[in-house]
Amino acid sequence: MSDLRRGAGSESLHRTEYQHAKKGIPHFLDIWPPARQHPALKANAWGGDKMRTFLIILGLILAVVIWRGYEFASTAGMFRDLEPQMAGQCTIVPGVVGPEDHTIDPDTGIVYLSGYDRVSAISGTPKPGAIWTYDLNDPSAKPINATPDADAGFQPHGISLYIGEDGSRRLFVINHGNNQQAVDIFNVREGALQKVTTVTGELLRTPNDLVAVSPDAFYFSNDHRFLADDFMRPFEDFLGLPMTDAVFYDGESFRSVAPNVKGANGINVSADGKTLYLSAARGGALHVYDRDASSGDLTYEKTIELPGLPDNIELLPDGQLLVALHPKALDLLAHFGDPTLKAPTHIVKVDPEGGEVETVFLSLGDDLSAASTGAIYKDRLIIGAIIESKFLDCDLSSSN
């Protein structure tokens, strides 16, 4: 009897274990005592996990690099074909070093050009920069230095001419000299410039261009978040990080009004002051904002894609915009490193309402490399560049 009872009990035990197995419930004998793994096997398993994690991270990084690399190549114009298109009869005007920005007085036909020797400045031996005037009413005009007493602390970049309701004029000038970033403001009287004041502030980090909206107030663009010697600067450029902005100075204080821009550059406002235009060089686009004239605040409206990296923006009498583009960014960088190398010049007309883009002037750089500004007065197109010691004066009537 005892053997039968043991047999019955054993059969019951086996049946219970089978039922556990069917239900997926491990028997305690299967899990106790716990198995001991050799330390070498545990190390190999841990090493395998780390390797898998490393490969996943590496794959993600490579995917981002390839994606952003293609985006950079597209924006930089590596796949873009260029067909030269001249604008009338152009004359090379020498004598102005690095005329990166200029603007034309619509009433007098006087061109104001800002320029300085960027090559010397980068090498640590800056030379005096200048504001030059050029009279479009004079058939034999030559550039005239309107700041002959400036020293090497004057390194002018973006400029803006403000004309008051009473006809008074002020010229606003971004100045990179004296190891600081500033905006110098000049009164304009009979073609002469009289300095009024200098504005500085923490938000003037990497100012590029500006537009005045009153005798004391202006907007300006910061073209980089990181300074030139910051190790993050190349990553900002390559990845196209939206880290730059446009800033408003109301005459007393600064505040950022257009953040998260990819390489903010040229800036301007419509004739009625209700719209602000901002070029995003790294983004290859032009941003349009509604402007509150009373507060200075901006509201994003839309973006217009452009066939190149946009630089400075000038207004046309009909409300359209004239924008200088850099259609081949790598050629531009090569030109910076060696000014003898050519970089294309491209000037386009942009309709801010419909978004249409029309080429006005395009050259491969034989006459002028890396144009940064184009401005029109009547039948004259003036084109300036970043590095060159000259600018172009084109008679558009000869193309009609």
Could you give the 3-state DSSP secondary structure of residue 10?
helix
- pLDDT, mean of residues 65-73: 67
Do 101 and 170 lie in one domain? The reply is yes
Burial of 79 (0-12, 13-18, 19+ CB in 10 A): exposed
Q: Residue 83 domain-assigned?
A: no
Non-local (6+) Cβ contacts of 198 within 8 A are 175, 182, 183, 184, 185
Same structural domain for residues 45 and 125?
no
Query: 226 and 285 share a domain?
Result: yes
Q: Does any domain span residue 27?
A: yes
Which pLDDT band holds residue 51 (cuts at 50, 70, 90)?
confident
Which of residues 75, 101, 119 is at a domain's end?
75
Report whether 396 contacts 381 (CB < 8 A): yes
pTM of the model: 0.83
pLDDT of res. 40: 53
- Give the domain-ending residue among 48, 75, 102: 75
393 falls within a domain:
yes
Tell me the per-residue pLDDT of 310-332, one tens digit each, with 9 for 90 and over.
Answer: 999 999 999 999 999 999 988 99
Counting every residue written for the chain, the total comes to 400
Check pLDDT > 50 for residue 71.
yes
- Determine, yes or no, domain membership for 137: yes
Task: Tell whether 82 is covered by a domain.
Answer: no
206 shares a domain with 280: yes
- DSSP one-letter code for 295: T
Write out pLDDT tens, residues 195-251: 999 999 999 999 999 999 999 999 999 999 998 889 899 888 878 889 999 999 999
Say if 293 falls within a structural domain.
yes
Confidence at residue 35, expressed as pLDDT on a 0 to 100 scale: 52
Tokens (6 digits) for 356: 């249409």
pLDDT for res 31: 43
Mean pLDDT value of segment 146-168: 97
Same domain, yes or no: 43 and 99? no
User: Is 50 exceeded by the pLDDT of residue 20?
Assistant: no
Per the structure, the count of domains in the chain is 2
Q: Are residues 56 and 151 in the same domain?
A: no
Claim to verify: residue 140 and residue 67 sit in the same structural domain: no
**Residue range of the domain that includes 372:** 89-399
- The answer on 35 and 132 residing in a single domain is no
Residues 29 and 168 in one domain: no
Query: What is the reported pLDDT for 17?
Result: 45
Residue 288 predicted with pLDDT over 50:
yes
Give the containing element (helix H, strand E) for 246: strand 244-249
Q: Is residue 84 domain-resident?
A: no
Contact (Cβ atoms closer than 8 angstroms) between residue 352 and residue 314:
no
103 shares a domain with 189: yes
Do 12 and 125 lie in one domain? The reply is no
Distances (CA, A) of 226 to 73, 221, 222, 231, 296: 22, 14, 10, 8, 26
The verdict on 309 and 343 lying in the same domain is: yes
CATH number at residue 197: 2.120.10.30
Average pLDDT of the chain, as a whole number: 88
Q: Which of 24, 52, 75 is the last residue of a domain?
A: 75
